[in-house]
Amino acid sequence: MKTTWDIFCSVVDNYGDIGVTWRLARQLVAEHGVAVRLWVDDLAPFVRLCPQADAGAGQQWQQGVEIRRWPTRWTECAPADVVIGAFACQLPAEYIDAMRARPAPPLWLNLEYLSAEDWVEGCHGLPSPQPNGLRKVFFFPGFTGKTGGLLREASLLARREAFENDPQARATFLQGLGVSPRPGARLISLFAYENPQLGNWLDALAADAQPSLVLVPEGRVLGDICGWLGEPRLAVGDVRQRGALTLQILPFVSQDDYDRLLWSCDFNAVRGEDSFVRAQWAARPMLWHIYIQEDNAHWEKLDAFLAHYRHGLSDSAQAALVELWRAWNMDRDTAQAWRDALGHWDELQRHARQWCARQAAQPDLAMALVHFYRNWI
């Protein structure tokens, strides 16, 4: 009999929560043969990631995963063997009561946000006894062997390498998006939050000797691009050129196509958590726009990751990389930081592949969760 898993996802204001839980659910089903129900309180963002899904369905199956609308008024439902509350979302009280009533309580996990901060290793796997007698365990994704690892499908890197070694596959994919790069153009993907420093970076790209094509999936950064261009709005398919820079607006694509977009580009600017991890598996130089927190608490998380990621770079390349990421996230001169980073382009390319290989040598998040459950029972 298959082990059953319930994953609860409360969509906040972006696609990171549902992006992570949907990837995890698919991988658990495809690679570990478990039965997964993914409970989502807002299916509209899910349909953006899985276009064949039905935003109005209370229950549906997509790629082997049972997708359930998380109802406002909970109805009776037998708890699963493993229960995951993603990112500290609050499970329904009736469901928790049913967990407690089981002859053998389920493994209750709180899947935390990704962080490279030192304290994560000490908190990963710690139980939290609840007043009702249940125990909830904190499970932290991360970048070291003392954490839960990163989401990575078993075939991901092999699929990326096959794509990289097939120029026609890349050309066909880009053509399907209406993209026809000029010979010699640097391809850049841009998926970011609103950013006051975007205009400085675009100015630098426009003034560069090498042409750049920046591909922008629909998202929150479009307003800043419109402001830089002096236009009221942009739509999917619009192309604008300023000097050496060409901007093209892409549709919001599925997760699998987003992976191919990252693989097709020479540099990827990403945001949040899900696209941040996928950019690392793309093994390209990248720029992370971290989610803003009160009192600039996100800066500590940014520097914690950089302390890991920059290891192995020369001192000058480290300094250029750190300054670019800090400028992007701390409202500093991104234009000069970009020009400085270009001086280390070859080294940053090699480093991105080495970092990817080091992370791939560790167990992935889905595997770590399954092993944790097997050791728990």
Active site residue 17: yes
> Rg of the Cα trace of the chain?
21
- The single residue of 6, 17, 259, 347 carrying the catalytic annotation is 17
Helices (H), 102-140: 119-123
Give the whole-angstrom CA distance, residue 134 versus residue 95: 12
- Cβ-contact 218, 249 below 8 angstroms: yes
The token duo for 106 is: 């389920």
Q: In sequence order, which residues have a C-beta less than 8 Å from that of residue 143 and are 6 or more positions away?
A: 116, 150, 305, 308, 359
Secondary structure class of 248 (helix, strand, coil): strand
* Residue 1 CB-density burial (10 A; 0-12 exposed, 13-18 middle, 19+ buried): exposed
- The single residue of 273, 274, 323, 364 carrying the catalytic annotation is 273
Cα–Cα–Cα angle for 335, 266, 255, nearest 5°?
110
- Cβ-contact 288, 281 below 8 angstroms: no
- Cβ-contact 16, 274 below 8 angstroms: yes
Helices (H), the chain: 16-32, 43-49, 93-101, 119-123, 156-164, 167-176, 198-207, 222-229, 255-264, 274-282, 298-309, 315-329, 334-342, 345-360, 365-376
* Residue 275 CB-density burial (10 A; 0-12 exposed, 13-18 middle, 19+ buried): buried
Answer left, alpha or beta for residue 23, where phi above 0 means left and psi between -120 and 50 means alpha.
alpha
Owner of token pair 């008024």: 73
Give the whole-angstrom CA distance, residue 234 versus residue 185: 22
Question: Active-site residue numbers?
Answer: 17, 273
